[in-house]
Structure 1
Amino acid sequence: MAGDCTTTSRRGGFALALAATILTMAAASAPSLFYPQVAERLGLLPVATTLVFAVYAFTLLAALLCLGSVSDRLGRRPVIATGSLVLAGSLLLFWSAGSLATLLVARALQGAAAGVLVPAMSAMLIDFEPPSRPGSAALWNTIGPMLGLATGALGAAVLLDVTADPSLAVFGVLVAAFAAVAALVWATPEAVARTRVRHGDLRPAFSVPPGVRPMLAAGVPAIVAGWATNGLFLALGAGLVRSELGGTTHTAAGVVISTLAIAGILASRLLQQHSARTISLYATSALALGTALSLGALALHSYPGYVASVAVVGSGFGTAFLGVLRTIMPATQPSQRAAVMAVVYTVAYLAFGVPTIIAGLLVPALTLAGTMMLLGAAIAVLAVVATILRARIPDRTPSRARGEDTKNRRP
């Protein structure tokens, strides 16, 4: 009976971690559909709207680097409970915001909470991975965030169109859901022994081994192209669909963002068994081609063409990060992986946030369509460069990786 209870508790822990991961990313994308409405109500300039979006990425990155490993010391349950309550509070603040300052504080708190929650929930998925399904934690750690992005965007869009009080429907449900996560997590087993958190544990570590640097340098353009694309879609996609593509409903904008995420999920599943080189070359090629097609659809003001091109872009975004990690991780020692991932995530979230601020500065001079054309062209060129750089790097085989690791350990 005790064994059955343990198994049931582990299954509950896995399910809760997955649900919380999806909810966290849904909470990240859902506010994007409200940006045009909030900007109009508060009279915000385009740069202000993109700053509200970007502050989420920057505070998430800071929390991820400084507090990302804190659940390894304090335990999963207190970290997830605290992070969930802070995130619920940030959504309440966003919901009731009456000024730009309040919006910035709300999104900053949300980013900080997500930066603590994401690694804790990812670790919890690994802690409670079913022994009968090895590898399922890695799969859901890849698919869960994209599923959350799609669910949040499309769900918020539909509710904006069909409910009299969409803010209550979206933010009320999310606040209640995170409050429930904060309570339910205490019913799961604790997989981590609590230890003291030292000041040095909160200091970000940036280090890339010499043998990994050429591979990471070749992958940086792919990371930047993929994450910049995602950031621009979330920050400006709703306004673009409405002003340039004839979208008359919020659902039209939600379809674009969810298509990006769903295409990424499908591409990751279909290509996961292929080599790192194949995944990377597909990703960068799809980003370049899809972005070029999206610029053509934008020039023609074709919403169907734009959605089709976004599916191509999304398949590239969903596999670009996977390809880079599959390229560099076999060459990275276990003791070096956290530091390398800190560098990777720093590049990713800078690419996620900085281009949106640039876009906000450019919109008054170039219009929204002109800004997306310019930045889209830059992303397409970057993706082509990424394709060329990755094509020059052969795949590491397991035997080669082990041989080099052994060689590196010799005195």
Structure 2
Amino acid sequence: MPASCTRRRIPRRGFALALAATILTMAAASAPSLFYPEIADRLALTPVAMTLVFAVYAFTLLAALLYLGPLSDRLGRRPVVTVGSLLLAVSLLMFWTAGSLAVFLAARALQGVAAGLLIPALSAMMIDFESAAQSHVAALWNTIGPMIGLGGGALGAAILVDLTTDPEVAVFGSLTAAFVLLAATVWTTPELVDRSPIARGELRPHFRVPPQLRGMFAAGVPAIVVGWATNGLFLALGTGLVREEFGGSTHTHAGIVIFVLAISGVTASLLLYRRTARTISLYGTSALAIGTAASIGALALHSYPAYVASVALVGSGFGTAFLGVLRTLMPHTGSAERAAVMAVIYTVSYLAFGVPTIIAGLLVPQLTLAGTMITLGAVIVAVSAAATLLRSRLPERG
């Protein structure tokens, strides 16, 4: 094989591996959500306890991002991906065998730490291997890869729960094996980061955005918040909502909702990614506002088809709002700052992912599940409208 052909294939292999690992990481985040109702029944957990189980993943991930997010910029992508993959495999084994709330919480906490290591390293790795001839492709796949993982993980787990006699073996066994394989396979790709020592005391919370990005980042924060808050609420409460308000008789009914949320985000991102960052962002926040308002109407009508249709619009907004932020920031981010900036972006994302679920858990006993979703949905509509206005005032930068 000619050497030039080999040089072309190595970056493609590195990019493909980073993308596949990102999809796998997010599938591991969404697949367990289909088991929540059964686990809650088995362990007699309250709604507050279940949202705490969900939120502990987000907050341990957040802590890992703050302390360890930029680690792969210093140590290299491969060792960080290896450690994160093995920790995630252990957390899945714990989740699989959990017989108490304490073990359940510990499994989700460890999964959050592992994801906090993996997400910025894999995101930066995709940018490392991006072809110069295909600018913005890493931003696109850093957006749609997680959505493919979230949707595919949820729907796949739902189908297995409905069709197999031992779905936990099928879901957690296969995911555990996949992460062990990933820990080894990442070493087949070249390391493009120059390793540098870490000084004592350097592993402390990092929440730094380079000065040239701060205005753009501030304008994008509301879009990140509403998108990921919506995503968190669907994953935490979506299964119960479909069962209680729409009469969903199978797990697949709930899995379809999460899958539609994700796949509509993928589709919209693919259709719009060649547009300007400003256009993508404005579409995303507008779609989040309109789609969330429509979902409130579908809840009031108790119409499952209308709810799925509204979720499609919400998902298209989630995907493109996040893509718009990445397209705005990444062209102005240096290679030595990529994992650090991605860590900040995901810190905001997972803070928005976790806090509303805790609030929802506290509200459900007072307002009912539907009332809670309507109340928080109204807040999301208002913040989405504000995000649209804020981004419209930010000029496009080359």
**TM-score normalised by structure 1 residue count:** 0.89
Gaps of 5+ in 1: 399-411
C-alpha separation in 2, matches of 1:183 and 1:208: 32
Q: Is the 8 A contact 1:219 1:324 kept in 2?
A: yes
C-alpha separation in 2, matches of 1:214 and 1:180: 41
Q: Tell me what 1:157 maps to.
A: 158
Q: Tell me what 1:29 maps to.
A: 30
Q: Give the letter for the 1:240 counterpart.
A: L
TM-aligned CA distance change 1:203 to 1:313, over 3 Å: same
C-alpha separation in 2, matches of 1:386 and 1:193: 38
C-alpha separation in 1, matches of 2:121 and 2:343: 15
Of all paired residues, the percent bearing the same amino acid is: 70
Q: Tell me what 1:206 maps to.
A: 207
Q: Is the 8 A contact 2:69 2:339 kept in 1?
A: no
Give the drift of 1:150: 1.0
Deviations 1:132-160 (A, max 9, x none): 65544333222211111111011001101
Q: Is the 8 A contact 2:140 2:273 kept in 1?
A: no
Q: Is the 8 A contact 1:275 1:395 kept in 2?
A: no
Q: Tell me what 1:320 maps to.
A: 321
Q: Secondary structure at the match of 1:199?
A: coil
C-alpha separation in 2, matches of 1:269 and 1:291: 22
Using the TM superposition, name which of 254-263 and 198-207 deviates more. 198-207
TM-aligned CA distance change 1:344 to 1:15, over 3 Å: closer
Give the drift of 1:340: 5.6
Q: Tell me what 1:409 maps to.
A: none
Q: Is the 8 A contact 2:143 2:322 kept in 1?
A: no
Give the drift of 1:129: 3.6
Q: Tell me what 1:147 maps to.
A: 148
TM-aligned CA distance change 1:388 to 1:116, over 3 Å: same
Q: Give the letter for the 1:23 counterpart.
A: L
Q: Tell me what 1:191 maps to.
A: 192
Q: Secondary structure at the match of 2:63?
A: helix
Is 2:247 the counterpart of 1:222?
A: no
C-alpha separation in 2, matches of 1:79 and 1:333: 20
C-alpha separation in 2, matches of 1:277 and 1:76: 31
TM-aligned CA distance change 1:276 to 1:123, over 3 Å: closer
C-alpha separation in 2, matches of 1:164 and 1:113: 29
Which residues in structure 2 correspond to 1:71-150 (within 5 Å)?
A: 71-130=72-131, 133-150=134-151
Q: Is the 8 A contact 2:136 2:327 kept in 1?
A: no
Deviations 1:230-260 (A, max 9, x none): 0000111111111111111111101100111
C-alpha separation in 1, matches of 2:349 and 2:48: 21
Q: Secondary structure at the match of 1:21?
A: helix
Deviations 1:372-402 (A, max 9, x none): 11111111111122223333x142343xxxx
Using the TM superposition, name which of 183-192 and 327-336 deviates more. 327-336
C-alpha separation in 2, matches of 1:2 and 1:213: 45
Q: Tell me what 2:297 maps to.
A: 296
Which residues in structure 2 correspond to 1:268-347 (within 5 Å)?
A: 268-327=269-328, 341-347=342-348
Give the drift of 1:341: 5.0
Q: Is the 8 A contact 1:204 1:342 kept in 2?
A: no
Which residues in structure 2 correspond to 1:382-401 (within 5 Å)?
A: 382-391=383-392, 393-398=393-398
Using the TM superposition, name which of 66-75 and 96-105 deviates more. 66-75
C-alpha separation in 2, matches of 1:217 and 1:329: 14
Which residues in structure 2 correspond to 1:37-52 (within 5 Å)?
A: 37-52=38-53
Using the TM superposition, name which of 247-256 and 185-194 deviates more. 185-194
C-alpha separation in 1, matches of 2:59 and 2:214: 24
Q: Secondary structure at the match of 1:202?
A: coil
Using the TM superposition, name which of 10-19 and 51-60 deviates more. 10-19
TM-aligned CA distance change 1:397 to 1:17, over 3 Å: closer
Q: Secondary structure at the match of 2:191?
A: coil
Q: Is the 8 A contact 2:208 2:341 kept in 1?
A: yes
Q: Tell me what 2:180 maps to.
A: 179
Give the drift of 1:202: 2.2
Q: Tell me what 1:401 maps to.
A: none
TM-aligned CA distance change 1:111 to 1:347, over 3 Å: same
Q: Is the 8 A contact 2:245 2:299 kept in 1?
A: yes
Q: Is the 8 A contact 1:13 1:128 kept in 2?
A: yes
Q: Secondary structure at the match of 2:275?
A: coil
TM-aligned CA distance change 1:397 to 1:68, over 3 Å: closer
Q: Give the letter for the 2:227 counterpart.
A: G
In our comparison, the structure showing a higher alpha carbon Rg is 1
C-alpha separation in 2, matches of 1:247 and 1:21: 30
C-alpha separation in 1, matches of 2:226 and 2:161: 30
Give the drift of 1:88: 0.5
Query: May I ask how many residue pairs the two structures share in their alignment?
Result: 397
Q: Is the 8 A contact 2:60 2:113 kept in 1?
A: yes
Give the drift of 1:217: 3.9
**TM-score normalised by structure 2 residue count:** 0.92
C-alpha separation in 2, matches of 1:163 and 1:250: 12
C-alpha separation in 1, matches of 2:109 and 2:65: 13
Q: Tell me what 1:404 maps to.
A: none
Deviations 1:274-333 (A, max 9, x none): 223322221121111101110111111111100000000011111112223444566778
Using the TM superposition, name which of 238-247 and 206-215 deviates more. 206-215
Q: Tell me what 1:407 maps to.
A: none
Q: Give the letter for the 1:101 counterpart.
A: A
Which residues in structure 2 correspond to 1:338-377 (within 5 Å)?
A: 341-377=342-378
Q: Is the 8 A contact 2:140 2:269 kept in 1?
A: no
Q: Tell me what 1:54 maps to.
A: 55
Using the TM superposition, name which of 203-212 and 41-50 deviates more. 203-212
Q: Is the 8 A contact 1:39 1:49 kept in 2?
A: yes
C-alpha separation in 2, matches of 1:196 and 1:362: 47
C-alpha separation in 1, matches of 2:16 and 2:344: 30
